[in-house]
Structure 1
Amino acid sequence: MPSSPPAFVPPKPDNIKGAVYVVMCCMLLAGTTLIARSLGPQIAGDEALHPLQISWARFFFGASVVVPLALMRGHSFRQSAYGLHAGRVAMGYGGVVGLFTAAGLMPLTDATAISFLSPLFAMVFAVVFLKELVGVWRWGAAAIAFMGALVLTRPGMDTFQPAALIALAAAAFMGAELIFIKMLSGREPPLKILAINNGMGALVATVPAVLFWREPTAEQWGMMILLGVMMISAQTLFLKGIALAEANVAAPFFYTTLIFATVYGWLLFGETPGTVTALGAGLIVLGALILTWRENLARNRQKGN
């Protein structure tokens, strides 16, 4: 019989260490998108794997790490908010498939930048479904970020990127996932949440992956395994980071993902961001940072009351 998990003791606040954890998380997150791009059609060509197959690997190999770990730590899965978990998995799976599809079809920096729209979508969904009140500053932040998305999409230009629309849909799915994460927050231990999320995700992703299965090469198997392990590691580092650092300190460091994606794309694929990419990505990050700032102000006011 598994022993009961030890009582949770909050760590002592440490903004520097927390920020380092978040940056390490971002380095790995950008790496997962890099792997997805490497396995996609623009890089792998005729040997490319289907995005549904790549997404399956992200969940399956992630679950292979975190589920046994949760069991060894004594977590029980008999009682849980499985309705909320199912909603999170459905939205998260849609986001992963969309992001990996877009990463295989467009520059790494562009796909990563558009994914930063997820908090803005989360804000909109919170207004519609949770009836949260949003002020002028937050709506302004959303407008700035969506202008950046339009720039990256390049409407009306010869370089119009249809894949950007897929990335935009992925960001919407990930924004909806953030709503479910918010509702799950504090209900269950983080390790248990990770285990259920990845375990259910692996089950959901299996059938679509089988329908579009193509036998990977030995190198591709290695990359898919690495993808799953990197994602779980990134999620763990992020949880450690936000547990140690104050939210207003940790949140801005999350946007270093874009820096890592840009460096990876340049070093491995020779993708040098142009003026349009820099402008679009800059607007998206600016909008997201303004939203983070306003949310931190609102949170501090609530604590003061």
Structure 2
Amino acid sequence: MEETLKQEDLREKMIRDRHKGIACIVLSALCFAFMNVFIRAAGDLPSLQKVFFRNLIAFFAAWFVMRRKHVAFSGKKSNLLLLVCRSMFGLVGMMGNFYAVDHLVLADASMLNKMSPFFAILFSMLILKESLSFKQAAAVVGAFAGSLLIIKPTGFDIQSPAAVVGLLGGMGAGIAYTFVRILGKRGEAGPFIVCFFSGFSTLMLLPVFILNYHPMTAWQLGSLLMAGVAATGGQFGITAAYCYAPARDISVYDYSQIVFSAILGFFLFGQLPDVYSWMGYGVICAMAVWMFFMERNGGAKARA
């Protein structure tokens, strides 16, 4: 009887934790949507200048968390090259995303950035030599087909070069996540990986920031600072979400960022995605939902 009660209590706790995880990941998606809004609101500043401020704020936030949790570098010298690779590809991903935010409808830029999980699957196969099932391959191909509806190629011409940059940004983020997976397996803590990435990218952009500095109004500076704050909230939110529940149970809710971006883009900037973009959203989200249920079914079979 006691064992049955304990199992019920455990089941209820898992349900509560899953609900908390969903709430955190949706809140994270809202924060990242506002980050894109503030990046867009900062106006015609260079994308690299915007990335610099975003990562500068993220560095201090991650450093604070490291100090509070007493987290440090593992000391494994072999991880340094992996940390640099993660940071380089993460920087490419962020620059691509910020450029897309400045030149596309917010929902388009957000959706192209959400291609990163599909690229992570692809590069996990190439870098980690992980097997790729037929269903996973079909999901990746389907998502890429959906991205073409947003990019809108016509013959040998591309109607939206900024969309290509946004897609490359999603690819950079996907490769970066692959290196994060490797580093996690090798004992590096999440706050240190974030802190290293933020500090490394800030130092990389510092010469460009100094030599190509564009004066900012108080509004632009405030917008960039708020973008950094929103990004930090999003990072902490998604970290908390995956602490409460496994990715297979909550990852699909991260796509709520597209809904938030579409609403904010419409009311704040008068943006309205065209019918092809909406079709692309539908295809990519469908592939994400399909992967979500594949992972959940896989997890259920593993527990059985």
Q: State the TM bucket, normalised to the shorter chain.
A: 0.7 to 0.9
Q: Distance in 1 between matches of 2:90 and 2:130?
A: 22
| Equivalent-residue separation in structure 2 for 1:129 and 1:78 (angstroms) | 22
How far 1:301 moved relative to its partner? 4.5
In the alignment, is the contact (CA less than 8 A) between 1:18 and 1:244 conserved in 2?
Answer: yes
Q: Which amino acid aligns with 1:230?
A: A
8 A Cα contact 1:89 1:197, kept in partner: yes
Deviates more, 1:193-202 or 1:239-248: 193-202
Please give the per-residue CA displacement for 1:129-176, whole angstroms capped at 9, x wherever unaligned. 222211221111112111111111112299921111101111110110
Give % identity.
24
How far apart, CA to CA, are the structure 2 residues paired with 1:198 and 1:114? 22
- TM-score normalised by structure 1 residue count: 0.87
The separation in 2 between residues aligned to 1:235 and 1:82, in whole angstroms, is: 22
Residue 283 of structure 1 aligns with which residue? 283
Match of 1:76 among 72, 76, 81: 72
1:203 lines up with 2:206 in the alignment: no
Q: Which residue of 1 aligns with 2:169?
A: 170
The Cα of 1:213 is off from its aligned counterpart by 1.5
- 1:227-275 per-residue CA deviation (whole Å, 9 max, x = no partner) reads 1122122111111111112323211110101011001101101112332
1:130 corresponds to which residue?
A: 128
Counterpart of 2:194 in structure 1 is 194
Is the CA contact (8 Å cut-off) linking 2:105 and 2:272 kept in structure 1? no
Corresponding residue number in structure 1 for 2:184:
185
CA distance in 2 between counterparts of 1:154 and 1:105 reads: 15
| Distance (Å, rounded) in 2 between the aligned partners of 1:302 and 1:208 | 50
1:236 matched residue in structure 2: 236
CA distance in 1, matches of 2:19, 2:230: 23
Shift in Å, 1:89: 0.8
SS at match of 1:18: helix
Q: How large is the RMSD of aligned CA atoms in angstroms?
A: 2.1
The 2-side partners of 1:78 and 1:295 are apart by 31
Contact 2:31 2:230 in 1 (8 A): yes
Partners of 1:138 and 1:290 within 8 A in 2: no
The 2-side partners of 1:189 and 1:121 are apart by 23
Aligned partner (choices 111, 114, 126) of residue 113 of structure 1: 111
On the 8 A contact 1:59/1:205 being kept in 2, the answer is: no
In the alignment, the residues of structure 2 paired with residue 72 and residue 150 of structure 1 have an alpha-carbon distance, to the nearest angstrom, of: 44
Is 1:114–1:284's contact at 8 Å kept on the other side of the alignment? Answer: no
Segments of 5+ residues of structure 2 without an aligned counterpart are 1-12
SS in 2 for 1:255: helix
Q: Which has the higher helix share?
A: 2
**Aligned residue number for residue 151 of structure 2:** 153
Q: What does 1:1-305 correspond to in 2, within 5 Å?
A: 13=14, 14-39=17-42, 44=43, 48-77=44-73, 79=75, 81-156=79-154, 160-185=159-184, 187-302=187-302
- Any idea what SS the aligned residue of 2:154 has? coil
TM-score of the two chains, using structure 2 as the length reference: 0.87
